[in-house]
C-alpha cells in the first residue's frame, strides 16, 4: 500500500510539472527546468554520504565496537552488503542512513542514541535505517526533489515574469501569478507526503529486519521524548534523513516536518506486532 501511494504521489508531482510546462514554457521549458534541477540533485545524491557525514563530524567506528556488531548481524537479516558505520558526537538520540546505493551506504548514530537504548531498541533503529537502504529511499527522494525543484524553478520564472510584464493583460498575469504561487506549495506538500510514506515503509521493513516491531516502537517513544527536550545542531536540509525529526525543539521548522507523527508510527508498529 505504501509503495502504491509513493507511485501515485510521484505521478502527481509529474503531472504538476507537465501542466506547468505547458502553461508557462511549453514542453521545452519543462524539460530544461527538470534537467537543471536533476543535475543539481544528482550531484547531491552522488556525494550525499560524504557531504552529510562531514557536516556532522561523523567518525567511523571500529569493527570491534558493539554498534558495528549489531549492524553486522542485521545486514544478514536484510540481505544487504555491510555499510560503513559512523558515530556522531551529539547528545540528542538519533540516526540516519545515507549513500547512493546498497553497495555505497553508511549508517550513522549519535552518541546520545547509544546511551539511552538497550540492544533490542538499538536493533529496531538500525533495522529501520537498513530498510531505507534496501528500499533505495535516497534515490526516490532525489527524484522527488528534482521534480519539485523544477516546479519551483519554473514557478519563480513565471511569477517574476507576471510581476514585471506590465498592465496590458492584468487578468492573465493575475492568474499566472496565483498558479505560480500555488504550484510550488503543492509540490512541497506532495514531496513531504512521499517522505512520510517512505518512513512508514521503512518502519515495516525495519521491523522484519530487527526481528520484532516493538523493538522500534519502544525506541521511538524514547527518541520522541528526548528529541523534544534535547537540542541538536542539525541543518533543515538534512532533517528528512533522521529517524525522528531532529528539529522538534524548533516549532517553526517542525511545521514542515518530513516525518509522520511518532505516535502514529508507534500505533502502526504495535498493530503490526500482533502478527508476531
Mean pLDDT (whole number) for 27-56: 71
Q: In what order do the strands lie in the sheet with 59-60?
A: 59-60, 84-88, 104-110, 95-101
- Distance between CA 235 and CA 252 in Å, rounded? 14
Per-residue pLDDT tens for 133-178?
Answer: 999 887 776 666 666 666 776 676 666 665 555 545 554 555 666 6
229 burial (CB, 10 Å; 0-12 / 13-18 / 19+) is exposed
pLDDT tens, residue by residue, 47-103: 767 878 888 999 999 999 999 999 999 999 999 999 999 999 999 999 999 888 899
- Segments making up each domain of the chain, as ranges: 2-273
Taking 70 as the threshold, does the pLDDT of residue 42 lie above it?
no
119 is catalytic: no
For all residues of the chain together, what is the average pLDDT? Answer: 80
Considering 38-52, 177-191, 228-242, 257-271, the range whose residues carry the highest mean pLDDT is: 257-271
| Section 11-16 average pLDDT | 66
| pLDDT tens track for 237-259 | 677 788 998 887 555 554 556 67
Report d(CA 92, CA 231) in Å as an integer. Answer: 7
pLDDT value, residue 41: 62
Q: Are 75 and 105 in contact (CB under 8 A)?
A: no
Residue from 121, 129, 204, 224 carrying the catalytic annotation: 129
Amino acid at each position: 500500500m505504501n509503495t502504491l501511494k509513493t507511485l501515485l504521489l510521484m505521478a502527481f508531482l509529474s503531472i504538476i510539472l507537465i501542466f506547468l510546462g505547458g502553461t508557462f514554457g511549453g514542453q521545452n521549458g519543462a524539460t530544461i527546468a527538470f534537467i537543471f534541477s536533476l543535475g543539481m540533485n544528482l550531484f547531491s545524491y552522488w556525494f550525499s554520504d560524504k557531504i552529510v557525514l562531514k557536516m556532522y563530524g561523523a567518525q567511523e567506528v571500529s569493527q570491534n565496537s558493539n554498534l558495528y556488531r549489531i549492524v553486522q548481524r542485521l545486514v544478514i537479516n536484510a540481505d544487504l552488503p555491510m555499510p560503513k558505520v559512523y558515530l556522531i558526537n551529539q547528545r540528542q538520540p538519533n540516526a540516519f542512513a545515507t549513500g547512493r546505493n546498497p553497495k555505497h551506504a553508511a549508517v550513522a548514530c549519535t552518541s546520545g542514541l547509544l546511551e539511552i537504548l538497550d540492544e533490542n531498541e538499538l536493533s529496531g533503529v538500525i533495522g529501520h535505517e537498513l530498510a531505507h537502504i534496501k528500499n533505495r529511499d535516497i534515490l526516490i527522494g532525489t527524484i522527488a526533489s528534482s521534480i519539485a525543484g523544477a516546479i519551483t524553478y519554473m514557478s519563480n520564472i513565471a511569477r517574476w515574469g507576471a510581476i514585471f510584464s506590465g498592465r496590458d493583460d492584468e487578468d492573465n498575469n493575475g492568474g499566472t501569478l496565483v498558479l505560480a504561487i500555488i504550484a510550488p506549495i503543492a509540490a512541497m506538500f506532495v514531496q513531504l507526503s512521499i517522505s512520510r510514506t517512505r518512513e512508514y515503509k521503512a518502519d515495516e521493513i525495519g521491523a522484519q529486519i530487527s526481528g520484532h516491531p516493538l523493538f522500534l516502537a519502544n525506541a521511538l517513544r524514547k527518541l520522541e521524548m528526548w528529541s523534544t527536550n534535547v537540542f541538536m545542531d542539525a541543518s533543515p536540509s538534512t532533517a528528512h534523513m533522521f529517524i525522528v525529526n531532529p528539529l522538534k525543539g524548533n516549532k517553526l521548522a517542525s511545521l514542515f516536518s518530513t516525518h509522520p507523527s511518532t505516535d502514529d508510527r508507534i500505533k502502526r508498529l504495535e498493530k503490526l506486532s500482533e502478527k508476531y
